[in-house]
Amino acid sequence: MEKRVVTAMLLSVALLLGWTWLANLYAPPPAPAPVGGTPTAVTGTIGGATGLPDGSGGVDPVPPGPVAPIPPEAVPNEAVPDELRDVPDVQEQIRTDVFDLIVDSHGGVLAQANVWACEYHLRADGEVRGDPGRATITLPGRPGLLAIGLRGSGVDLMDRPWRVERNGKVVTATTTATLEGGARVEIVKTFRVSTDPAAKFHIDVDVELRGLGQGGKRATLEVVGPWLVRPITPNAAEDGILVALADEDDETEVEKLTAADIKESLAEDPEYEMQAPQGIRWIGSLGDFYLSALESLEPLPSGAYVGFVQGVDKSPNRGAEPGVKSEPWSTAAATLRIPLQVPANGTTETFHFRVYAGPASRPLLTADDAPYHEFAHAVPSRMLSVPAITDLLGWLLSKFAATGMGYGLAVVALTILVRGALFPLSRKSQISMRVHSKRMASIKPKMDAIKKRYKDPKKQQEETMKLMRKEKISPVPGGCLLAFVQMPVWISLYAILQTTYEMRHAKFLWASDLTAPDHLLHLPFAEGWIVLDGWLNLFPILMMITWGISAHMQPLPDDPQQRQTAKMMRWMPMMFGLILYNYPSGLTIYMTCSALWSIGEVQLIRRVWLNKLGV
């Protein structure tokens, strides 16, 4: 048995190291954002700002990040109406204490949506003034967020010029098109930034189709949703394109697709789409703890479905160190496709949308009275986690932090609360395992006699099970079953401590960001090394030490075979320490505190309960 355990451990470590090497070779993690950010000037006409994110007022002299306009040559002159040929290239900017928005006349799109949302700012956190979190982008030559198309009309609206005007916090984009059969239509998009302090992370968008000629032609209105942005934090496992559809019970069901999933699907079927017989709730993207979503404010007509567009982001990796080559990054966006009839002359059809651009925060999205409760299903979660337990633990964590102790001490408090609540199970588990071990030792002579008497392994097993039933000994210790009961709690905690937006850039001791490794000391000589990768992370080391002490305090079974296996299992904390070395420090803080609790718990159970039982 012990040989199999050793082999499994060695293979696990080899697999871990090999996977880390391949990940660093083909998908190196992004470099940390430079201090102060590296914003680039925006070309075109920029509307005046009315205030700064820090509340100081005035015009911020530091312009926002780069916007990649669609090349003018992408629009054939003969496809552009005469009244739009002289439309100037304009980028109207809206700056508030929450948003940095740019509406581009190329396609009339929301070309940039940057968000100041994190309450725990550091100078190098990627959200300093002039360099906030990015919710969506526009790729050169690709349709941006809220690009409008009329599929089946014989004209491409997404690349043509739009006349863009700004009035305070309202921006209007207008274009006209002559469709097949001579019908004409004017399309007006109106962008209004929310002024509600309780619901400040959205933009209201009206899309108005005005008939200018003979109507009745059937077409499909296509509205492009948010693009998945290149991540600057190592949380890519949660990132993806989100499509929220209604199911048969009128509940929201969210499908998450990575950009690679979309690329593979479109390679097999260029017209790949998702049908929505029960209705579409919203479409969007989740990246770097941020959610960007497009929602229709009224039910979409029957027959609406979801399509996809894809592209390659060749812009410099946001936050990369100067001189570091940035590899192209595949990205994608979902689109709403809505069947309609082109309005006749003098008639109008209007669609009302809402664009959410803000943090994927549990308190902001999941509370029953939350202004954005519609997007509750977008909160990041881990596979196998239990939503009810995850929501409860997330709520407890936020309540602890709200007392003023901060998220570092909140993790410690949550550890004490969870381990305290599980103490009765843990106590019963340890007592059960020790009693089971003692009873197994008492029948060991009889089990040895069975092995000598019967050489056939199958017969040995049958006789052994008869003996255990006669002695009323369970084949599996009760403590093992109780350990499985606790697994949903551990998995949900694992999910919470890696996906809680509010823990971003929250400091605790030497850790500056509880959603990232603690990075106590930079080791230039270890750059690119497997596991270390140039950093000394102290929390995982403390976790290994405390876990090791806790494991060695557990008594060894009396059965020789089980004893050898238990000895080997004592080295498991070392393997887990290597696996979790570059995981978020909030998780390793919990594991360390949990191991310290286990040390005290073992001593208490041994002195109080096991002594009374004589085991």
Instruction: Quote the pLDDT of residue 67.
Output: 34
Query: What secondary structure letter does DSSP report for 138?
Result: -
List of long-range contacts for 246-254, beta carbons under 8 Å, 24+ apart: 246/276, 246/278, 246/279, 246/280, 246/281, 247/278, 248/278, 250/278, 252/281, 252/374, 252/377, 253/377, 254/377, 254/378
CA distances for 46 relative to 101, 211, 324, angstroms: 10, 31, 30
pLDDT digits (tens, 9 = 90+) for 438-447: 777 777 788 7
In angstroms, the CA 233 to CA 22 distance is 19
Distance of CA 64 to the CA centre of its chain: 24
Contact indicator for 192, 170 with CB cutoff of 8 Å:
yes
Give the lowest-confidence range in 409-413, 450-454, 473-477, 567-571: 473-477
The number of C-alpha atoms within 13 Å of 580 and in the hemisphere containing its C-beta is: 27
Segments making up each domain of the chain, as ranges? 2-26+390-613, 72-317+326-378
Give the lowest-confidence range in 41-55, 222-236, 508-522, 546-560: 41-55
Structure tokens at 164: 């863009």
- What value does the CA radius of gyration of the chain take, rounded to a whole number of Å? 30
Contact indicator for 100, 8 with CB cutoff of 8 Å:
no
**pLDDT over 90, % of the chain:** 12
Higher-pLDDT residue of 265, 140 = 265
Residue 21 is inside which H or E element, if any? Answer: helix 2-26
In angstroms, the CA 330 to CA 308 distance is 13
In angstroms, the CA 585 to CA 589 distance is 6
Tell which residue, 494, 476, 495, has the closest CA to residue 484: 476
**pLDDT over 70, % of the chain:** 73
Give the lowest-confidence range in 34-48, 157-171, 229-243, 394-408: 34-48
Distance of CA 195 to the CA centre of its chain: 27
CATH architecture of the domain 72-317+326-378 equals Distorted Sandwich (2.70)
Q: Which amino acid is at 95?
A: R
CA distances for 446 relative to 30, 98, 452, 463, angstroms: 61, 74, 10, 10
Contact indicator for 512, 122 with CB cutoff of 8 Å:
yes
CB-CB neighbours of 404 under 10 Å: 7
Structure tokens at 241: 């394109």
In angstroms, the CA 253 to CA 273 distance is 16
Q: What are phi and psi of 354, to 5 degrees?
A: -130, 135
In angstroms, the CA 278 to CA 78 distance is 41
Tell which residue, 159, 158, 147, 217, has the closest CA to residue 185: 217
pLDDT of 381 above 80 = no
CB-CB neighbours of 601 under 10 Å: 20
Q: What are phi and psi of 230, to 5 degrees?
A: -65, 125
- Quote the mean pLDDT of the chain: 75
In angstroms, the CA 237 to CA 286 distance is 10
pLDDT digits (tens, 9 = 90+) for 390-440: 888 888 888 888 888 888 899 899 889 888 888 887 787 777 777 777 777
Distance of CA 299 to the CA centre of its chain: 27
pLDDT of 486 above 80 = no
Tell which residue, 313, 138, 119, 327, has the closest CA to residue 226: 138
Instruction: Quote the pLDDT of residue 2.
Output: 45
In angstroms, the CA 161 to CA 76 distance is 11
In angstroms, the CA 296 to CA 323 distance is 43
Instruction: Quote the pLDDT of residue 70.
Output: 33
Stretch 509-514: mean pLDDT: 84
Contact indicator for 546, 590 with CB cutoff of 8 Å:
no
Stretch 377-389: mean pLDDT: 74
CB-CB neighbours of 324 under 10 Å: 11
CA angle 251, 252, 253 (to 5 degrees): 115
Give the lowest-confidence range in 24-33, 92-101, 227-236, 249-258: 24-33
Instruction: Quote the pLDDT of residue 325.
Output: 63
Residue 167 is inside which H or E element, if any? Answer: strand 163-167
In angstroms, the CA 44 to CA 335 distance is 27
Contact indicator for 295, 146 with CB cutoff of 8 Å:
no
β-bridge partners, 92 = 103
Structure tokens at 29: 């993690």
Instruction: Quote the pLDDT of residue 560.
Output: 61
Contact indicator for 151, 307 with CB cutoff of 8 Å:
no
- Taking each continuous run of H as one helix and of E as one strand, the counts in the chain are 14, 20
